[in-house]
Each structure stands twice: as structure tokens, then as C-alpha cells.
Amino acid sequence: MRLSALTLAAILLVFSGVCEAATERLYGVVADESGGVLPGVTVAAIAEDGRVLATRVTDAVGRYGFQTLPMASVRLTFQLDGFSPAVVSLGIAANGEATVPTQRLKIAGTSETVEVRGEARLSAPAPPPPPRVPSTSRPPRPVLRAVPDHDRDSICGPAKPSVKPEAFGTIRSGHSSKGNGLFVEGDELSIDGGTATGLQVGQNLVARRAYRTSGDRDGAAGEHSAGLLQIVAADHRAAVALVVYACDELMAGDWLAPFEPQPIRALEPAGRPAYDRAARILLTDTGQLIGAPRRLMVIDQGSDNGVRIGQRLTLFRPARPGARGPAVIGDAVVVAVRFDSATIRVQHAVDVIAMGDSAAPQQ
């Protein structure tokens, strides 16, 4: 296709990169809340059926553009570590161009871990105040027992759903929540479940919830671990828990699953990928469509296939016609293992990583 001088000048004004052969049909800019442009944001165009049509990464001035999108309604997702993800829906007309208003990403909430050592004790009710003298004292907050050292990545993140997930109870509400229904480190929570369901004072539990990887009801399903709790008081039917730490936000309805601490293990030595024993990527984490460094994903092989924590994996796609071998797109390490699946952490990527890509164990 031949471009006129006027069209070529317009493209150079919109994008600072190298001119390509086709006019961009959809383009825009990504910035933070203060208006500062954000380079390195992953922008994905998603079809109505959940398919990823194309992905781009914003350049040094926060710009992105798509060329060959079909005439349809699409969703644009914006993801950058340290910022909350965002989604924009829009339609594309035939042979038309569309400019997306500047997308502003909000800084994601952060949390720190504070470990308080001591013996847990129940708060005794305050004695009735003397006549005509109101009491302003408050009972002391429960404290946490020591939590075993463990690799947080083995707790936080996605997993393949269990056939019969073991649940000790569910989060009902928070004593110290600010009213938004989300709970973070240090919050005191009311639990539906008590000693009758196996809860005990001092017990550590993982808060989990189910999710779909897309809006499709028949799409892939996963389990997301949102944080670690400790029971500080319990009776027959109810309990109180403190949030030890939050992987992200915990919320009402999350169920409590057993805590199985995994020690931090050194990475195994790098080796040659065994492509004939490759696993397939089943799931991304909740709210994420693609993998990037530090992201957690799930593969369809586990301990039954010899997968082990600390094992290195080569991420790849099948060889294209005429290529000498598979197209390597990154590498990962195993951080948690179930009998039929495993959770991996992406270490390095040269392209976006999505469900259906492959992971070969290094040996």
C-alpha cells in the first residue's frame, strides 16, 4: 500500500517510533493520575468472545496503536505492575479510525508484613463503669502467634481448582473495615465457622475464592489465594481472625483453606528444555489476561508428572513453518505444586505469554 505524504506526516506526529505500512485504526495515550505519561503499559485488544486480538506496549511517551483490528466491539485492557488494571469498551467502524481518550491508571494499594510475636488471648469484656463516670477504656486487640517462614509466592496467586476444596469457614464481615467490603493486613474479621468446622485458636488459614479467566461462563476456572489469616478466638459456630498479610484484597465470601507453608528453595541449575515433556499453560491470575515477569500462572502438570518446586521451565510456542525449532518466549520457575497442576512465576519474557502457550522442563 502506498502512503501519501500527508498520511505519513500524520503518523509521524502521533507516534515517535518507526513508520509501518498500514494506518493505525485505533490509538491512544496512557498516563498516571497526575497526567504523567506511562511507558511500558501492556495494552491488549480483546474480542467479545474473550479472544486476544492483539497486544501492544506503550512507548516512551505513553502512546500505543493497533492496525489490523476487525470491525467489531472490543475491550482494551491496560496493565502495568504497581498500578490497578483498567478496561475500556468501544466499537470500531468499517475502514474508520478511533482515538481512545487518555487512559489514566491509578496506583495500586500496597501492604507491608508486620509480625507480632506473643500468645493469643481473648479480649475480656470491660467491667461496668462506676455510677455517673463513663468508661473510655477499650479491650486490647488480640495478637498473632509466630507464623512459620515460607515462600509467599507458594501461597499467593492462582491454582487449578480442587475437586473437593476443603473449607473451614467463610469470611462474613470485618470489625475494622472502612465500609468498602475489602480487608487488608491487620483487619479483624468475623468468620462463619468455628470449632464445629475444625477451627482452633492459633490456626493459620489461606483465604481463597473462585474466578473465571474471562466473562464466559464456560471459560477456564481458577482458585485465587487472597491472603493469610490466623484464628484468634473461636466458639462452636463462629470465630474471629486477624489478617496476617494480604496478597491483594480479601473480601466477604472468601473461604478458608488449609495453610501448607513451603520453604523458600533455591532455583535448580539451568538446563536444556525437554520439549517432548512440555506442559500447557491453563490459567492466568484473576484480573489478568497475559503473563509478564513476576506474574503467576498455572500449568496442567504437577507432582504426578515429576514437576517440583524450584524447577526451571522454558516457555515457548510451536515452530512455525520453515523455522528450525520452537519459538522461545521466556522462562519461569515452579513455586507451588499440586498432584495434577503447578503454579509458576514468570522470570523473563520476550513476548506476551497467554493461556495455551507451552512450558518445557529444563534438564
Identify the CATH number of the domain in which residue 294 sits: 2.40.10.340
List the CATH number of the domain containing 75: 2.60.40.10
Identify whether residues 161 and 81 lie together within a single domain: no
Residue 310 belongs to some domain of the structure:
yes
Q: CA-to-CA distance for 326 and 273, rounded, in angstroms?
A: 11
Phi, psi angles (nearest 5°) of residue 195:
-60, -25
Report the amino acid identity of residue 267: L
Distance of alpha carbon 173 from alpha carbon 328, whole angstroms? 46
Residues 248, 279 share a domain: no
Which CATH number do you get for residue 213? Answer: 2.40.10
Each residue's pLDDT tens digit, 153-177: 888 889 988 777 778 999 988 754 4
The grid coordinates of residue 203 equal 490456626
Q: Picking from 83-97, 193-207, 272-286, which range would have the lowest pLDDT averaged per residue?
A: 83-97
* 241 and 322 co-located in one domain: no
Same domain, 219 and 286: no
Q: Cα separation of 131 and 157, whole Å?
A: 54
Based on the fold, state whether residues 296 and 240 are members of the same structural domain.
no
What is the pTM (predicted TM-score) of this model?
Answer: 0.57
91 in a domain, yes or no?
yes
β-pairing verdict for 170-174 and 188-192: antiparallel
Q: Specify if 43 maps to a domain.
A: yes
Question: What count of other Cβ atoms lies within 10 Å of the Cβ of residue 268?
Answer: 16
Alpha-carbon span 249 to 108, nearest angstrom: 11
> Quick one: cell of 139?
479491650
pLDDT digit string, tens, across residues 93-149: 665 667 788 888 888 765 454 454 545 454 556 666 666 544 445 557 788 889 988
- Average pLDDT estimate for 309-332: 91
Amino acid at 108: A
What mean pLDDT value characterizes the chain? Answer: 80
**SS3 string of 146-172?**
CCCCCCHHHCCEEECCCCCCCCCCEEE
Whether 226 and 308 share a structural domain: no
Q: Which residue has the cell 492483539?
A: 54
User: Within this chain, do residues 247 and 283 fall inside the same structural domain, yes or no?
Assistant: no
The Cα–Cα gap between 29 and 37 comes to: 7
Residue 304: give the domain boundaries.
Answer: 275-361
For 251, the enclosing helix (H) or strand (E) is strand 250-251
Q: What is the pLDDT of residue 183?
A: 84
In a domain, 229, yes or no: yes
State how far the Cα of 162 lies from the Cα of 338, in Å rounded to an integer.
9
Verify that 214 and 298 share a domain, yes or no. no
Instruction: Look at 40-49, 139-148, 323-332 and tell me which has the smallest mean pLDDT.
Output: 139-148
Beta strands in 47-181 (DSSP E): 52-57, 63-66, 73-79, 86-91, 98-99, 103-105, 157-159, 170-174
Instruction: Give the Å distances, CA to CA, from 24 to 27, 40, 48, 64, 322.
Output: 7, 19, 21, 10, 30
β-pairing, 26-32 with 63-66? Answer: antiparallel
Are residues 253 and 192 located together in one domain of the fold?
A: yes
Tally of domains within the chain: 3
Look at residues 331, 326, 261, 337 and name the one whose alpha carbon lies nearest to residue 298.
Answer: 337
Residue 135 lies in a domain: no
Say yes or no: 252 and 338 in one domain. no
In a domain, 81, yes or no: yes
The amino acid present at 252, given as its one-letter code, is A
Q: Of 105, 139, 160, which residue is a domain's last?
A: 105
Q: Does residue 345 lie within any of the structural domains?
A: yes
Residue 130 lies in a domain: no
Q: Same structural domain for residues 194 and 163?
A: yes
Of 198, 233, 258, the position where a domain reaches its end is 258
Q: Are residues 316 and 290 in the same domain?
A: yes
